[in-house]
Amino acid sequence: MATAPAAQAPAASWRDRLIEPVTAPTTFESPVIDTQVRPIFIRHEIPSDAATGKGRATVIAVQARVAVTEDLAIIAVKDGWIDLRTQAFPDDTGYADVAAGVKYSFFKDAQAGTLVTGGLVYETDMGNGEVFQGNGDGVIRPFVSAGHAMGKFNFLGELAYNWVLDDKNESTSYDWHLHCSYDWMKCVVPLVEINGIEWTDGGEGLAIDDEGGDLINLGSQNVDGSVVSGAIGARFPYSANLSFGLGYEWPLSTRGDLLDERITFDAVWSF
């Protein structure tokens, strides 16, 4: 009598194979399609040689993603509350601009562990000017994100272009992101990330060479050039659907603009 073939175990989900990046949360989008809620806390230190003077920005936000199909998701990537304190401007609080869009995974090779996703995000100008939001007419952001799971290693990368709709009040740029993590222990996944932004065209704002990176767009005039930052940290899986992330980020390039150092903490609840 013929023997029935052994049942194969179901393939691990992409979320199990590719963890969420930690730093640059408003711009570093994972290629994974899932439904999730992601609270985020950022403590951002501004250097003393910045145009604003030494200062600090505290950000509290919540991202959301909804998987419409296994390949398509609606994403809300930027919102929240900002507490900004600098030497050159009055201390103030306000709401961030809101950004949302879609992403679609157009290439999957489960056996090789490779996933590639494209997306489009629109950032509104509905934030508060007191915390350097709300200027311009919005930003359209196309991006491509990829991931590769290789044994215990995870690799993520993204490339995006920031097309401002009012180039007088905001600066144009593209940005890129890299992530490498190692599935060291069940409850600890160490990671290294590198984030870069290339300012290609300044606005008609202040005649300074500082820009705000992934959170703020000042529309400064003399901003052409790049800023590269590095980060170390870890993601801490708590259960199959919940993990916590912690990252410490600092400038790697000579130019840091408004970045002195940053701590990012998040929780990712996927379901």
pLDDT for 200-237, tens place per residue?
999 998 888 899 999 999 999 989 999 999 999 999 99
More reliable by pLDDT, 1 or 31: 31
Q: 169-197, pLDDT tens digit by residue?
A: 999 999 999 999 999 988 999 999 999 99
Question: For position 11, what pLDDT does the model report?
Answer: 56
Task: Please determine, for residue 258, whether its predicted confidence score (pLDDT) is greater than 80.
Answer: yes
Question: For position 88, what pLDDT does the model report?
Answer: 86
Instruction: Kindly report the length of the chain.
Output: 271
Domains in the chain, CATH or no CATH each? 14-270 (2.40.160.40)
Task: Please determine, for residue 199, whether its predicted confidence score (pLDDT) is greater than 80.
Answer: yes
Task: Please determine, for residue 2, whether its predicted confidence score (pLDDT) is greater than 70.
Answer: no
CA distance 115 to 36: 18
Q: 11-49, pLDDT tens digit by residue?
A: 578 988 899 999 999 999 999 999 999 999 999 999 999
Question: For position 3, what pLDDT does the model report?
Answer: 52
Sign of CA dihedral 216, 203, 127, 156: negative
Task: Please determine, for residue 8, whether its predicted confidence score (pLDDT) is greater than 50.
Answer: no
Question: For position 205, what pLDDT does the model report?
Answer: 85
DSSP state of 135: -
Mean of pLDDT over the chain: 93
Task: Please determine, for residue 106, whether its predicted confidence score (pLDDT) is greater than 80.
Answer: yes
Strand partners, 196: 176, 228
Which contiguous run of DSSP H or E holds residue 17? helix 14-17
- How many percent of the chain have pLDDT more than 90? 86
From the list 46, 49, 21, 19, the residue with the least C-alpha distance to 193 is: 21
CA distance 253 to 47: 14
Question: For position 206, what pLDDT does the model report?
Answer: 81
Task: Please determine, for residue 9, whether its predicted confidence score (pLDDT) is greater than 80.
Answer: no
Task: Please determine, for residue 135, whether its predicted confidence score (pLDDT) is greater than 70.
Answer: yes
